[in-house]
Amino acid sequence: MQELEPAVLNKINTWLNGSYDADTKSSIQKLLDDKAYTELTDSFYKDLEFGTGGLRGTMGPGSNRINKYTIGTATQGLSNYLLNKYPGEKIQVAIAHDSRNNSDYFTKVAAGVFSANDITVHLFKELRPTPLLSFAMRELGCRSGVVITASHNPKEYNGYKAYGADGGQFTFPDDGLVMQDVAKIKSIDEVKFTPIEENIKLIGDDLDESYLQKIAQLSVSKEAIQRQSDLKIVFSPIHGTGITLVPKALEYFGFKNVILVDEQTTPDGNFPTVVYPNPEEKEALTLALAKAKEVDADLVLATDPDADRVGIAVKNNDGEFVLLNGNQTGTLLINYLLTAWEEAGKLTGNEYIVKTIVTSYLIDEIAKAKNVTCYNTLTGFKYIGELMTSLQGQKTFIGGGEESYGYLIGELVRDKDAVVSSTFIAEMTAFYKDKGSSLYNALLDTYVQYGLYKEKLVSITKKGKSGAEEIKALMEKFRTNTPTTLGGSKVVMLKDYERSLETNLESGTVKPLDYPVSDVLQFFTEDGSIISARPSGTEPKIKFYCSVKGSLSSKEAYAEADQALDEKINSIMTDLAV
């Protein structure tokens, strides 16, 4: 036992001697018998906490794992928060889940705990996309909501995303208050696991129908779609929830030629055809790309398991399919939306878009040229949703997104939405094809007009307790020893979002940053490069977002100019020495 820290051993004994089921205790005892001290430490050294995406971790026994008890404790804490915040009210919540292993079981656990606290639960009877949870909350007047999902993480993971009354994920101060109420629960005996069945109500198909009709009303280029209704669209839900709504949504928009990747249409938490169910990964789109080549498609769409993010592939000018990254797709979407709104005479000067501080600043340039306000938020779509709620009724939200393949068009939900995004990606494909162009050429035209921007995300994984300590030390090193040059250009400004300070490194001038406190650093160089360092809130990773820019004289010069920016990013990462 000497290899286990006293605090870890104490927590293990609490589980072995507490009101936990026999299978859980047996699993823990086996790890002890096998002297699996590293795994035990990682499972018990802390309690799972809400990060930028809520509660997420590998499944298994332990306080730092996703299981019945951590799900139950989180739900009891959330229930306590709701009962304190809305005294005397008959509180309603909604719950959805994705296709992951145990998601349906964890959903029943959460529903049972809410119901036992005399909270009315609106429960989707089958798996549904995360954005539909946000829509349902707003439609049904819920004070909170939960979706059981781990997004694009490997199959061993699951998670718990909690939402506030506006249909967006909790933000300050409520996220902290929920965490406090969860932390106050010192014993599993405080969790009310026995459901009150009459408090649980199933959500009917009419909610799907309402959502589909309302997103179809957002369409801007209906005539172009009518002329291009046979556009060949290959779609893969990558074994997730996208299959339930994306094909129907495309049909509602008027697209008649949607081709499914049959091998990936069945929901399956083992994700048997991919290594990771992540549309950011080329490997996850292998089957979709093969199908697209076979049928000579115009567009490839692939959504992650909970259908809040979407990856795309388009044909380049050599007829080959190329994957677009999240910044490129986001840029195309915003440029299309602002162009289409402008052509339709819908821009009044009161519209706005939103992106995050690590998403392409090309979007800012496009918005400026169109005289549309562009807001920047911290990383995490909850901040975009929070801003939308604060501006509701004052300004008109057109669209927004973040570099990690999450976008939103219209104000129906308060989270990233791959269903509505897929329809608008298809719509803009039809829009440009109707003009004799393509998405690929539209992107190159944007670069020629506004400048060539290139972004790259470098993620470094540091697992377990030791990994978390390494990440913390790395961030502290960058704070105390700020790089003087990156990629051959002088670092002229540092933004430290944890200390809420912006420092001009040339003049020494320091001014406050008007953002919520967050562990993020941004280095700005003399030549316009922006490098952001940020520990992930949902994964054991530290992420570096590199953004560089140059000019593009013509579409023909793209390959050479792109290569030069690649080399610049590599130089920056070398200078960071990580």
Q: Could you please report the per-residue DSSP string of 104-129?
A: HHHHHHHHHHHHHTT-EEEEESS---
pLDDT at 412 over 60: yes
User: 3-state SS string over 66-78?
Assistant: ECHHHHHHHHHHH
CATH 3.40.120.10 fits 51-203, yes or no: yes
- 256-295 confidence digits (pLDDT tens): 999 999 999 999 999 999 999 999 999 999 999 999 999 9
Q: Radius of gyration over alpha carbons of the chain, in Å?
A: 24
More confident residue, 540 or 210: 210
- Of the pLDDT bands very low, low, confident and very high (cuts 50, 70, 90), residue 1 is very low
Domain 452-576: assigned CATH number = 3.30.310
pLDDT at 139 over 60: yes
pTM above 0.85, yes or no: yes
Q: Cite the residue boundaries of each domain of the chain with CATH code 3.30.310.
A: 452-576
- 446-495 confidence digits (pLDDT tens): 999 999 999 999 999 888 778 888 899 999 999 989 999 999 999 999 99
Active-site choice (144, 151, 221, 547): 151
- 47-62 confidence digits (pLDDT tens): 887 654 568 899 999 9
Q: What is the mean pLDDT of residues 302-313?
A: 98
User: What integer pLDDT is reported at residue 50 of this predicted model?
Assistant: 61
Q: Could you please report the per-residue DSSP string of 195-240?
A: --GGGEEEEPHHHHHHHHHHHHTT-S-HHHHHHTTT--EEEE-TTS
Q: What is the mean pLDDT of residues 341-365?
A: 96
* Strands, E assignment, 417-451: none
Question: To the nearest whole number, what is the mean pLDDT of the chain?
Answer: 95
- Is 151 one of the catalytic residues? yes
Q: Which of 47-56, 109-118, 295-304 has the lowest mean pLDDT?
A: 47-56
- 327-340 confidence digits (pLDDT tens): 999 999 999 999 99
User: What integer pLDDT is reported at residue 391 of this predicted model?
Assistant: 98
- Fold for the domain defined by 210-450: Alpha-D-Glucose-1,6-Bisphosphate; Chain A, domain 3 (3.40.120)
Residues 37 and 83 sit within 8 Å (Cβ to Cβ): no
Q: Cite the residue boundaries of each domain of the chain with CATH code 3.40.120.10.
A: 51-203, 210-450
* Six token digits for residue 145: 């909501």
Q: Could you please report the per-residue DSSP string of 16-85?
A: HHSS--HHHHHHHHHHHHTT-HHHHHHHHSS----BTTBEEEEBSSSTTSBSHHHHHHHHHHHHHHHHHH
